[in-house]
Structure 1
Amino acid sequence: MDLLALADFNLVARHEGFGRAARAAGRPKATLSRRVAELEGSLDLRLFERGGRNLKLTQEGRALYERTGALLTELDEAAAAIASGVDRPRGRLRVSAPLLFSQTAMGKLAAGFALKHPEVRLEVTTEDRTVDMVEEGYDLVIRVNPDPDESLVGRVFLRDRLVVVASPALARPQDGSTVPAVVRGAGDEIAAWGVTTPEGPSSIAIRAVLGLSSLVMVRDAVRAGVGAGRLPVSLVTHDLAAGRLVHWGEADVPEISLWTLYPSKRLLSARVSAFLDHLKEAFPKGTPEELAACIGA
């Protein structure tokens, strides 16, 4: 594929017309039109719908634009960095992060990154769903215990674990009776929580009295004494130290791992590398205690 023709195609697509693209780039309109036509011919695809006053991308043209635009931008930035002799992070960095991490820590982390790298425009979107990085234009995603994905590479930067906690006013049952519980979601199928204490493993029978979609809301409800809760250590460390909550045991569930993921087929940009380094500096050991310190700072 002709890389120059591909760059001209992206220029026309970005400006939504040959005339506007020609004026923006100071290039002849006829040259842009010819090079896009040559690209269409080499691909045997129509990339634009021509006619009327506006130029519209076809479905195939839209897919090509979305998949190649970021790559060409990275090539331009790499060339500019090499030419200037400085590989300094600059440009737009889009990150998708899960809800709880964003609510508790991302604001401080993003602010610190912005102060450190003023030439990078960081944009963070908060969502727990699995996003399509290429289609939706993300440079990096943060996910909790992600499923394996051959198209992505990444690393664990934080680990956490769940504990069962309650207000000091709520007594832990000793006779096997159920205890009121605040759960994330509906919790209809949960009858008991397995826990490990210094005395060994045991089980706490529960009845869900409140279902909430956010762990921050679960913590606040547990603080109020509505029921016991199963929460990350990082989220309740300060409450346990202050006596607002008491520890009933370590939850018998898999460890929580937070991963940074990015496409394996792309060169790692200076922006992404800088953000990964920033996370490493914030959490050098990747422990729940480090996250708790960040939350309570």
Structure 2
Amino acid sequence: MDLLALADFNLVARHGGFGRAARATGRPKATLSRRVAELEASLDLRLFERGARMLKLTEEGRALFERTGALLTELDETAKAIASGGHSPRGRLRISAPLLFSQTALGKLAAGFVRKYPEVQLEITTEDRAVDMIEEAYDVVIRVNPEPDESLVGRVFLHDRLVVVASPDLPRPAGRNAVPAVSRGAMAQAESWEVTTSAGKFRLVARPVLSVSSFIMVRDAVRAGVGAARLPLSLAIPDLATGRLVSWGEVEGFQTALWALYPTRRLLSARVSAFLDYLKEAFPRGTPEELAAYME
């Protein structure tokens, strides 16, 4: 198989068209088209469906792109490392991360990483949705309690848990009385929270009065005394330490783990390995208290 033709095929697939790939790389559009046609002929496969205004990968083309893109990147990085006489991390590193971690810690983390590795061009996208790492060309995806995926491997670098917090001015309900509650996302008309304290367990009936889209907004609303809420311990620790908020106990059964995921392959690029090591250096024990201290 012609590696140059395969590399040109990956360029076109990644950019979504011959014209886009040509403009992004400065390669002649005719050359890219010819090399892809030669690759299709050598494989006796159609890799793209060509329309008047669109170009779409066939099923075979998508499989080839998914299986060869990472390998070609590794070959390119290996050649560059050998040429430079070392394995210093360099090149583009694309990361997808969840909203809360991005808002509270990732800016500081990213700044420290690029200072340590100035030859890495770090790009971070903040989103809570599941992303396709291969199709969307991400090197690392950070997620909370991700679903199992055979195409990905990774490691846990942080743990957290939920606590029920409230303003000191909000009285704890007695008996079966409901407490006004602030929730992240929609909540049922009334929910029961199983809460654990040093004195034992109890059931708290929560009546929603406010629904917002982020934990930062939840925390701010609870500070204002609107109601009680379930917050990650790492986010609540500073306010608990100053007495701005009080804890009513931990939420039973809500343990979270923050994972750094990357595509399954034998060799990791130097920049991905460096980022994973940097996460470990930032959070050596991976506790909520470490994350809270890091956010200061």
CA-CA distance at 1:70 after TM superposition: 4.7
Percent of matched pairs sharing the same residue: 69
1:144 equivalent in structure 2: 144
1:76 is aligned to 76
Look up the SS of the partner of 1:121 in the other structure. strand
Please name the residue that 2:111 is paired with. Answer: 111
Shift of 1:262: 0.6
Q: How many residues end up aligned between the 2 structures? A: 288
Q: Give secondary structure in 1 for the equivalent of 2:172.
A: coil
* Structure 2: tracts of 5 or more residues without a match: none
Deviations 1:108-152 (A, max 9, x none): 011111111111111111111110100111001001001111111
Q: Which has the larger radius of gyration?
A: 1
- The answer on 1:219 being equivalent to 2:195 is no
Deviation at 1:38, TM superposition (A): 3.3
When the two chains are superposed, the root-mean-square deviation of aligned CA atoms in Å is 2.8
The residue aligned with 1:202 is 202
Q: CA deviation at 1:187?
A: 0.7
Between 1:181-190 and 1:65-74, the stretch displaced more is 65-74
Measure the CA separation in 2 of the matches of 1:283 and 1:93. 20
**In the aligned structure 1, how far is the partner of 2:49 from the partner of 2:165?**
61
Corresponding residue for residue 264 of structure 1: 264
Alignment partner of 1:294 is 2:288: no
Question: Cα gap change, 1:65/1:148 in structure 2, threshold over 3 Å: closer, same or farther?
Answer: closer
Aligned to 2:5: 5
Task: Give CA-to-partner distance per residue, 1:253-281, whole Å, 9 cap, x none.
Answer: 23110001111136211110011011111
Q: CA deviation at 1:284?
A: 0.4
1:114 touches 1:122 (CA, 8 Å); kept in 2?
Answer: yes
1:190–1:151 CA distance, 2 compared to 1 (3 A): farther
Distance 1:190 1:99 in 2: 26
What displacement does 1:24 show? Answer: 5.5
**Paired position in structure 2 for 1:59:** 57
Partner of 1:274: 274
2:94 — aligned with what? 94
**Corresponding residue number in structure 2 for 1:134:** 134
Q: Counterpart of 1:210 in 2: which secondary structure?
A: strand
Relative distance call for 1:85 and 1:189 in structure 2 (3 A) is farther
Residue type of the alignment partner of 1:16: F
Unpaired segments ≥5 residues, structure 1? none
Is the 1:67–1:135 Cα contact (8 Å) retained in structure 2?
no
Letter of the structure 1 residue corresponding to residue 57 of structure 2? Q
Q: State TM-score, norm by structure 2.
A: 0.87
Deviation sequence 1:88-127 (CA, Å, 0-9, x none) = 1111111010111111111101111111111111111111
Q: How does 1:171-210 map to 2 (within 5 A)?
A: 171-188=171-188, 190-210=190-210
Task: Verify the 8 A CA contact 1:159 1:258 in the aligned structure 2.
Answer: yes
The residue aligned with 1:228 is 228
Runs of 4+ in 1 over 3 A off after TM superposition: 8-17, 32-38, 46-52, 60-71
Distance 1:231 1:34 in 2: 56
Contact 1:187 1:208 in 2 (8 A): yes
2: distance between equivalents of 1:39 and 1:252?
Answer: 57
Q: Deviations over 1:218-275 (max 9, x none)?
A: 0000000000011011001010011100110111123110001111136211110011
